[in-house]
Chain A
Amino acid sequence: MMRTFKAYFKKEIIESIRQYRYVIIAIGIVFFAVSNPILMKMLPKILSNQMSADLSSLFVVTRRAALINHIGDLLEIGFLVIIFTLSSTLSDELISKKLVFPYSKGCSPAQMVVAKFIHHVLATSLIIVLGFIINYYYVNILITGDDVPFLSYMLSAVLVGVYFMFNIGMCMLFSSLFKKGFVAGLISIAVSYSLIPISGINAIKAYMPYRLISAATAFSIEGAVTAIITAAAVSTLFIALTCYRMSKAEVI
């Protein structure tokens, strides 16, 4: 029953290792997990060289501020890295006709799409959690004051993971629709970023994926449950549409 799912899940693992996808994503995420606290540590010193002493004392960096800053970095650079690494996941298979053999062997398009989605979400989530742990460690040894409990920070990691799940789902849909992975990536990013200002509107605020980030930076799940459910539902919709598209696509 699940044979396409299993075959493709394994294939994605082999592919991600051989094409250094894990390494690229890990570098994109772990680099900032380490560099961010170092920069935050040095920031007051850099500023104090340029400002009067009493002004620079306003820029006291606490642990909480450093962790929040890291989440911000992750959403900029880490996000781009992840989206562009994954945006060719279906377009490349289609355009280079790699699906001819699998489809002629009775591959189930839906199982393939779901296998890819679950693989990508799991892989990025694990790397994100790893990044958060590393970041927490460095923040704790470099910076003092305004502590955030470890578990609260892990909760933030999960919320960020859900936010990425939403974006990966969207990215896969675009990847199945556009010939170039690069285009699929650009559009995903454009849509995702344009949702951020809209997320301020009170009437829809609670449903928007960006609510997850607000909750992550507040280190609290409060008010984010609706957003989690919405993100899960919309991701499912994206994936269902992707499955439909892949079952209709001419692979040759």
Chain B
Amino acid sequence: MLRVEGLKKSYKDFEVLKGIDFEVPKGCIYGFLGKNGAGKTTTMNILTGLIGFNGGNVFYDGKSFKDNKRSILSMIGYVPQDPVFYGYMNAYEYLKFIGGLSGMVELDIKRRSEEVLSIVGLKEAAKRKVGGYSGGMLQRFAIAVALFNRPKMLFLDEPTSSLDPQGRMEILSLIKELKEQGITVFFSTHILNDIERVCDQVTILDKGVVLVSDELKALKDKYIKPIYDIELEEPCEEVAAKIKSLEWVQNVVCHNTMMSVYVSDIEASKTKLLGIMADSGAAVISYSLRKSDLEDIFIRLVNSDENL
């Protein structure tokens, strides 16, 4: 669907994007993750044609963005981070304006307005002035506007960051619905939980560089390693040495009576570790499995810790 190659963008001497590459397959939900100032918004503004770029290439369905800008723009929708509308219009009027710009005919505009407003659940408020909408309503209306001319791909820049938990869930389930309708969704966020909930693929961006870009599952398999935290009554050096020699144990960190066991094979550890502990005769006070999540991966990656 979308391929980005060596994309670069600078503001004066400040290089915001230092040559990023990634590929978004058709029909997936693509998470774009990064800290504040990582360059997420900049990337999305480029991909939606609002600002130019200084180097690299962008391809939609194999077609170069530079040469086919208008036709490509007509098949994508963008929900910017802080959407702004003509506040003196009501939802119908604004959609009519957008429909007119997109070259839709009157009848289609009417039908589509009803459709998108019910998708985002704004039908009741549709006759009110957009200027009086709450933050969550604006966000939802922005999605309605972006969806209006039936784009094949939708970009959402931090769609959930200004919403309360319920609003976030609503947007996330909306994103899932869009995927079912065959729309490719690309959304940026710094809320890892959102990514874990809905994304198929993730790219982590930091300081204008892509750290990883992979399927969420592969990412988890690759980076998430289970750790057992075991507390003993006695200092644990002896037991630790014994466990360390096991084939499926990667490392054991020992600190007084606390021991952290890094395992490489979760299945083996589940069935065997407890038995080995019991056989060793050590008095175990507590035993728990710490599951590292995307958050850990993210933090470890952006802190450029190679020893994952």
The residues of A with any CB-CB pair to B shorter than 8 Å are 3-4, 6-7, 10-11, 14-15, 18-19, 96-98, 100-107, 250-252
Contacts and interface: CB of A to CB of B under 8 A. Distances in A.
Interface of B: 45, 48-51, 70, 73-74, 76-78, 80, 82-86, 88-89, 93, 97-98, 100-103, 142, 145-146, 148-149
Nearest to B103: A3
A104 B50 contact: yes
A252 B51 contact: yes
A69 to B, nearest CB: 38
Contacts of B142: 101
A19 B102 contact: no
A11 B97 contact: yes
A19 B145 CA distance: 23
B100 A10 contact: yes
Q: Majority SS of interface residues in chain B?
A: loop
Q: Majority SS of interface residues in chain A?
A: helix
B93 A250 contact: no
A105 B102 contact: yes
Given A7-B100, A14-B89, A104 B78 contact: yes
Q: Which has the most chain B C-beta neighbours within 10 Å: A7, A10, A18, A104?
A: A104
Nearest to B81: A252
B103 A103 contact: no
Contacts of A3: 100-103
A102 B84 contact: no
A89 to B, nearest CB: 13
B86 A10 contact: no
B111 to A, nearest CB: 18
A21 to B, nearest CB: 11
B21 to A, nearest CB: 23
Given A100-B50, A250-B50, A106 B88 contact: no
Contacts of A4: 101
Nearest to B93: A14
13 contacts: A4-B101, A7-B100, A18-B89, A101-B78, A101-B83, A101-B98, A101-B142, A103-B50, A104-B48, A104-B49, A105-B98, A105-B101, A105-B102
A103 B145 CA distance: 13
A15 B85 CA distance: 12
A95 to B, nearest CB: 10
Contact of A101 (B76, B85, B100): B85
A125 to B, nearest CB: 24
